[in-house]
């Protein structure tokens, strides 16, 4: 048996890559944040399972990381070890009839392109969301009135005891930008799509990209929408923030986008603290002026 204090060494012994004390800035699209205890990129499922068991034994929190497009790590960092499924094994794709099975590390853009190339429609709404299959399922990512759970057939995950389990979508508690399976590590999923002409899928993809470029802010690093749209109101979070006159509001280099008020962009040297302070400022102002308590979509990684 390994000693508890040797967990870093043991990670080095697993197949894949382990980076200790890793600064997380380059791994999140907002480009802010402090160090994590480590980042592990397993080669295959066997290594992932071993890392899960190792962390369970040593009481280390292991958090999956996709493309980091919906999270920030505080400046002081985190004691967690991130596990990133970017090795080729976790990006595999198999097309069978109208179904596509793919690894959790595959990007949503690649997934959409593969669907289109195979004459399969129904996934176009995901194009341009800069996440991975795993991150998108956990968040139930969506756009254009559709959500990833609409096209899911099953999800394969590793639980905290290292067991491989298969879930049906109805077991995952999907709601608006939410699932109940946080804590599991998604390794792959199958999607059910519909036959369509490639030209039709391509047209839809182009339309989705055009709309994104028109409405969203791609001029600086961001994590997309910071807040969820309120359930009870027919107005979006972005519109509420805009009505409070907050477009352009700034703390350090963290700025409320002038194009999309639900985006906070990093104008260069923003810190996680700047972002978090700006979030609090927006929340307070919207509650005071609009009577709405905004719920965060952006996840802040705990210590």
Is residue 121 packed enough to be buried (19+ CB in 10 Å), middle (13-18) or exposed (0-12)? buried
Residue 48 touching ligand FAD (CB under 6 A):
no
Kindly determine how many residues on this chain lie close enough to bind ligand FAD according to the rule CB under 6 A.
31
Candidates 24, 54, 60, 136; binder of ligand FAD (CB under 6 A) is 136
Shortest distance (Å) from residue 232 CB to ligand FAD: 20
Candidates 16, 33, 64, 121; binder of ligand FAD (CB under 6 A) is 64
Shortest distance (Å) from residue 100 CB to ligand FAD: 17
Secondary structure (3-state) at 215: helix
Shortest distance (Å) from residue 197 CB to ligand FAD: 25
User: CA nearest 174: which of 207, 191, 204, 150?
Assistant: 150
Candidates 33, 77, 142, 162; binder of ligand FAD (CB under 6 A) is 142
Residue 59's contacts (CB-CB under 8 Å, 6 or more residues apart) are none
Instruction: Give the torsion sign (CA, 70, 76, 82, 85).
Output: positive
Per CB under 6 A, the segment of 7-15, 165-173, 195-203, 217-225 that binds ligand FAD is 217-225
Per CB under 6 A, the segment of 62-70, 188-196, 253-261, 282-290 that binds ligand FAD is 62-70
Shortest distance (Å) from residue 290 CB to ligand FAD: 23
105 Cα distance to chain centroid: 11
* Residue/partner pairs of 1-4 with CB below 8 Å, 24 or more apart: 2/54, 4/57, 4/58
Judged by beta carbon, residue 119 or residue 218, the one nearer ligand FAD is 218
Structure tokens at 154: 């099953």
User: CA nearest 40: which of 9, 3, 7, 11?
Assistant: 11
Query: Given the rule CB under 6 A, which residues bind ligand FAD?
Result: 29, 63-71, 85, 104, 129-132, 134-136, 138-139, 141-143, 185-186, 216, 222-224, 299
């Amino acid at each position: 048996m390994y000693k508890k204090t040797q967990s870093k060494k043991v990670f080095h012994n697993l197949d894949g890559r382990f980076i200790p004390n890793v600064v997380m800035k380059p791994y999140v699209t907002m480009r802010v944040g402090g160090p994590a205890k480590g980042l592990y990129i397993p080669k295959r499922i066997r290594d992932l399972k071993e890392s899960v068991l190792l962390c369970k034994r040593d009481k280390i929190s292991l958090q999956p990381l996709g493309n980091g497009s919906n999270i920030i790590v505080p400046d002081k960092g985190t004691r967690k070890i991130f596990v990133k499924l970017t090795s080729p094994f976790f990006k595999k794709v198999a097309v069978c009839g109208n179904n596509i099975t793919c690894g959790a590390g595959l990007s949503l853009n690649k997934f959409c392109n593969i669907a289109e190339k195979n004459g399969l429609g129904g996934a176009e709404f995901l194009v341009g969301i800069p996440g991975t299959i795993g991150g998108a399922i956990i968040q139930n990512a969506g756009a254009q009135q559709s959500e990833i759970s609409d096209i899911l057939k099953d999800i394969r995950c590793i639980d905290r005891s290292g067991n491989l389990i298969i879930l049906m979508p109805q077991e995952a508690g999907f709601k608006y930008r939410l699932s109940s399976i946080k804590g599991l590590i998604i390794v792959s999923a199958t999607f059910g799509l519909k036959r369509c002409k490639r030209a039709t899928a391509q047209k839809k993809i182009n339309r989705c990209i055009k709309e994104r470029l028109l409405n969203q802010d791609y001029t600086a690093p961001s994590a997309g929408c910071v807040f969820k749209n309120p359930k009870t109101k027919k107005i979006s979070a972005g519109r509420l923030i805009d009505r409070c006159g907050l477009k352009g509001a700034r703390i350090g280099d963290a700025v409320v986008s002038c194009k999309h008020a639900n985006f906070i962009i990093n104008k260069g040297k923003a810190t996680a603290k700047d972002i978090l302070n700006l979030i609090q400022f927006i929340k307070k102002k919207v509650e005071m002026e609009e009577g709405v308590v905004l719920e965060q979509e952006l996840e802040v990684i705990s210590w």
